[in-house]
Amino acid sequence: MRQYWWKILCIVLLLYTFTAGFLVKVPEIGNLYQTIRNLFFHVPMWFAQLVLITISLVYSIMYLRNPQAKYDLYALQFVQTGTVLGCLGLVTGMIWANYTWGTPWNNDPKQLGVAIALLIYLAYFVLRNSMTDLDKRGRVAAVYNIFAYFIYIPMILILPRLVESLHPGGKGVEGNPGLNGGDLDPTMRLVFWPAVLGWTLLGVWITTLYLRMKALEEKKHAH
Amino acid sequence: MAGNQSKHIWALVKKDFLLEVRQQYTFYGILLYVASTIFVLYMAMGEGPEEKVWNGLFWMIQLFICINAVAKSFLQESRGRMLYFYTIAGARDFVLAKLIFNLVLMMLMSLVSLLLFQLFLGNPVHNPLKFIGIVCLGGCSLSLVFTFLAAIAARAQQNAALMAIMGFPLIIPQILLLMRISNAAFADVIQAGLTSIVLMLIGLDIMVVALAVILFPFLWKD
């Protein structure tokens, strides 16, 4: 029970997201109509991506302080899952944008933010694959991961001030680049935050499965 | 200790300058790269593109020049020589020296390319002094980020292509801020919030230097 309580929590939260997310009464804002329900799927994926790349950053720092192969593997797998969630967040956002803003791509700062994150982390994979020496690969990849993260975070804070946005809050929204909390109805908030937690836990779960699979593969090769 | 360190950095910077003076082909190589890129651009564009296009082209060309000017800075050092520098000066001094050298080099190249842009592609700049300042600042910002990425790419034994794919997404905040402040030099009206953007850019530069100093020792430990 100690081991997998959070997996049960994840399933419960996502079931709740999928049922309440489709059934709860939503406010009518502008031309959003029922598409506002996408908020429970699109935005939390984004949040989960940020959480996962932050976990990856922590493992990269741990790797530099104490170079153990497993930390490097953790960092890689968390980025991988984060990138998948980022892609999903981008696609769900583009479908939503197609119906509410008219075109899938609107040069919106948050769209740009996800696109840049994808480019940064795809470059991370290319960089890793260009090296064969395990120790060197771990170190160089960790250094790039840390460097990229600390440029990426200021970037998503700066971008909304420079580019016009269609997201709630619009241009120059202070501080919070992902979401304007004021627009959230209290009932929606009751679904939204559990959804964020649920999607994040799902990301972590997928990552741990991958890690166990990798460990088994290594065991097989060791024999 | 601090005096000793600055002496080390100065010696390393001087070494890079001396190398540049002695093996002139690299310096003239970059200079020729600048000239021919802008000339090709002129042939393709014809004279006098619009202000916005001029501005965008200018900073894109700066990006490519920066990659070419900075890429070789770590690749030219052989493994044995790296070990030698590492033992006599330490990794931090070494990376600071490289940052300073590339900063000066890139600033020079930026000014040369500004001159050539004025010559070939017309002069939409209303406020030349301000724009020269912006160009210097831009050259600094670009060179700092790409110097560190050159160190990573050199460690991975890769060429400039890897630097480009790593660097282009990371340089976006600087490029956007630079485009924004250089628009100020195209208009006579004074734009609000200009100082805060300049400060933001300088803050980013300081952060990049700090990250480079902290992370570089890990990169070169063998």
Confidence of residue A178 (pLDDT cuts 50, 70, 90): very low
Q: CB-CB: which of A112, A120, A122 is closest to B170?
A: A120
Nearest chain B CA: its distance from A134 CA (Å): 12
Contact A139/B at CB under 8 A: yes
Q: Do B177 and A143 touch (CB under 8 A)?
A: no
Q: Do B211 and A150 touch (CB under 8 A)?
A: yes
For the cut 70, the answer to whether the pLDDT of residue A171 exceeds it is no
Confidence of residue A96 (pLDDT cuts 50, 70, 90): confident
Q: Do B165 and A150 touch (CB under 8 A)?
A: no
Share above pLDDT 90 across residues of chain A, in percent, rounded to a whole number = 23
Between vectors from CA B129 to CA B126 and to CA B131, what angle results, nearest 5°?
65
Share above pLDDT 70 across residues of chain A, in percent, rounded to a whole number = 84
For the cut 60, the answer to whether the pLDDT of residue A180 exceeds it is no
Say how far apart CA A78 and CA A122 lie, in whole Å: 13
**A24-33, B17-26, B30-39, B106-115: range with lowest mean pLDDT:** A24-33
Contact A130/B at CB under 8 A: yes
Nearest chain B CA: its distance from A147 CA (Å): 7
Q: Give the domain extent around B202.
A: 2-220
CB within 8 Å of chain B, chain A residues 164-223 = none
Share above pLDDT 70 across residues of chain B, in percent, rounded to a whole number = 94
| CB < 8 Å to B200, chain A | 158
| CB < 8 Å to B155, chain A | 136, 140
Contact A136/B at CB under 8 A: yes
- The amino acid at A35: T
Contact A65/B at CB under 8 A: no
Distances, alpha carbon A81 to alpha carbons A91, A129, A194, A216, in Å: 15, 17, 20, 19
Q: How much is the pLDDT for A20? A: 79
Q: Do B176 and A143 touch (CB under 8 A)?
A: no
- Mutate which of B196, B206, B209, B211 to disrupt the A interface (most A C-beta within 10 Å)? B211
Is the distance from CB of B207 to CB of B78 less than 8 angstroms?
A: no
**A103-112, A141-150, B37-46, B88-97: range with lowest mean pLDDT:** A103-112
Structure tokens given for A166: 């269609």
Structure tokens given for B13: 């910077």
**A83-87, A120-124, A143-147, B74-78: range with lowest mean pLDDT:** B74-78
Q: How much is the pLDDT for A33? A: 67
Between vectors from CA B94 to CA B93 and to CA B98, what angle results, nearest 5°?
115
DSSP A35: G
Is the distance from CB of A166 to CB of A106 less than 8 angstroms?
A: yes
Q: Which residues of A88-111 are buried (b: 16+ CB within 10 A; e: fewer)?
A: bbbebbbebbeebeeeeebebbbb
Say how far apart CA B15 and CA A136 lie, in whole Å: 28
**A62-71, A132-141, B80-89, B159-168: range with lowest mean pLDDT:** B80-89
Query: Which residue in chain B is spatially nearest to A132 when comparing CA positions?
Result: B156
For the cut 50, the answer to whether the pLDDT of residue A179 exceeds it is no
Say how far apart CA A185 and CA A221 lie, in whole Å: 54
Q: Do A151 and B145 touch (CB under 8 A)?
A: yes
Number of CB pairs, chain A paired with chain B, less than 8 A apart: 74
Confidence of residue B211 (pLDDT cuts 50, 70, 90): very high
ipTM of the complex: 0.86
Q: How much is the pLDDT for B51? A: 81
| CB < 8 Å to A146, chain B | 211, 215
Q: CB-CB: which of B145, B204, B219 is closest to A154?
A: B204
Q: Which residues of A170-209 are buried (b: 16+ CB within 10 A; e: fewer)?
A: eeebeeebbbeeeebeeebeebbebbbbbbbbbbbbbbee
Q: CB-CB: which of B169, B204, B207 is closest to A116?
A: B169
**A201-215, B1-15, B31-45, B194-208: range with lowest mean pLDDT:** B1-15
Nearest chain A CA: its distance from B37 CA (Å): 26
Say how far apart CA B79 and CA B61 lie, in whole Å: 32
The helix/strand/coil state of A221 is: helix
For the cut 50, the answer to whether the pLDDT of residue A177 exceeds it is no
Say how far apart CA B29 and CA B20 lie, in whole Å: 11
Q: Do A159 and B173 touch (CB under 8 A)?
A: yes
Q: What average pLDDT is seen over chain A?
A: 81
Between vectors from CA A78 to CA A173 and to CA A4, what angle results, nearest 5°?
105
Tell me what the mean pLDDT of segment B140-166 comes to: 86
Largest CA distance in chain B: 56
Highest mean pLDDT of the ranges A67-81, B5-19, B71-85: A67-81
Is the distance from CB of A21 to CB of A37 less than 8 angstroms?
A: yes
Say how far apart CA B154 and CA B177 lie, in whole Å: 28
Number of domains in chain B: 1
- The amino acid at A123: A
Query: Which residue in chain B is spatially nearest to A125 when comparing CA positions?
Result: B166
Tell me what the mean pLDDT of segment B175-184 comes to: 84
DSSP B178: H
Q: How much is the pLDDT for B1? A: 52
Radius of gyration of chain A (CA): 19
- The amino acid at B29: G
Q: Do B148 and A120 touch (CB under 8 A)?
A: no
Say how far apart CA A173 and CA B201 lie, in whole Å: 19
Nearest chain A CA: its distance from B88 CA (Å): 23
For the cut 70, the answer to whether the pLDDT of residue B184 exceeds it is yes
| CB < 8 Å to A135, chain B | none
For the cut 70, the answer to whether the pLDDT of residue B28 exceeds it is yes
Confidence of residue A97 (pLDDT cuts 50, 70, 90): confident
Q: What average pLDDT is seen over chain B?
A: 84
For the cut 50, the answer to whether the pLDDT of residue B121 exceeds it is yes
